Copies of this chain bind each other. A is one copy, B any other.
Amino acid sequence: MDAHLLRTFVAVTRCGSFSRAADELGYTQSAVSQHIAALESDLGTPLLSRRPVQPTAAGRRLLEHAGPILVRLAAARAEITRMTQAPPDRLVVGVSPLAFVPEVVGANHVRVLPRVEVVTGVAQGTLDLGLVDGITAPSDPLNLPDVAPLAKAGVAERPLAVVLPADHPLAGRKHVKLADLADAQWIDAPESAIPLAQLRAASGTTGFRAALRYEGTHVPGLLEMATAGHGLALLPQTMVGGLPAVPVTRLVHRVERLTMPTQPGSGRSGVR
């Protein structure tokens, strides 16, 4: 199970086509066909159904491993490259939408990305610094996917608030326990608010089901939908403005700063 083969496998599933994947990877489609055949014979089971090209059950399972493996391979290379070579002159900062803290303003290149991509970006060296947000109990670290060992530091912790319509039974309350809202109607807005998946993970329940999905990073639009009663949304209190919202107990919004464990250029061995 060569890493090379895994790379073409994920490309094929992403493209949904051998030939398009071949173009993307700079192979002939014959080579791609041979790669998949090699993988399938190695694992002893078909990984793709052809025409249309879709992963089988086994293929889907493999996909779940392949991504992290490739990220980690890239991370290993990136880390060593960074140890050996001179630090880059640019400084690219990756930020998840709600992690935009004042610190960022000084950077000369900022990229707003989904949370996972901030983590993988820092790991693979495409980002020099990452700022990710999420929810936790006060002063607990975030539960980030550990695709690679990264240096993490808490940067900010702010209270959370649930945005709700003015006529909601809980409106005007001093605070709420999130657990009491597990069965409410939620809006899943993973880019402009706390993703419900994080809520479930932090609370250990299976509640917090989405009545509605909201894509994009346009927070005002989300706030409008929530106050109009289409569902609840959980955000850092500072982003709610003057709208009707109830502070949340026990959990906070936390921002962490990610870098590679080795400082850039710190280990320039062999250079005199």
Contacts and interface: CB of A to CB of B under 8 A. Distances in A.
A54 to B, nearest CB: 13
A56 interface: yes
B1 A2 contact: no
Size bracket of the A interface = 35 or more
Interface string A28-52: 0000000000000001111000000
Interface in A60-106: 61-62, 64-66, 68-69, 72-73, 75-77, 79-81, 83-84
Contact of A44 (B1, B66, B73, B84): B84
A58 B266 CA distance: 11
A107 interface: no
A1 B77 contact: yes
Contacts of A149: 64
A141 interface: yes
A151 interface: no
21 contacts: A1-B76, A3-B3, A44-B84, A45-B83, A45-B269, A46-B270, A57-B83, A58-B80, A58-B267, A58-B269, A61-B79, A61-B83, A61-B261, A61-B262, A64-B149, A65-B75, A65-B79, A65-B148, A69-B69, A69-B72, A141-B204
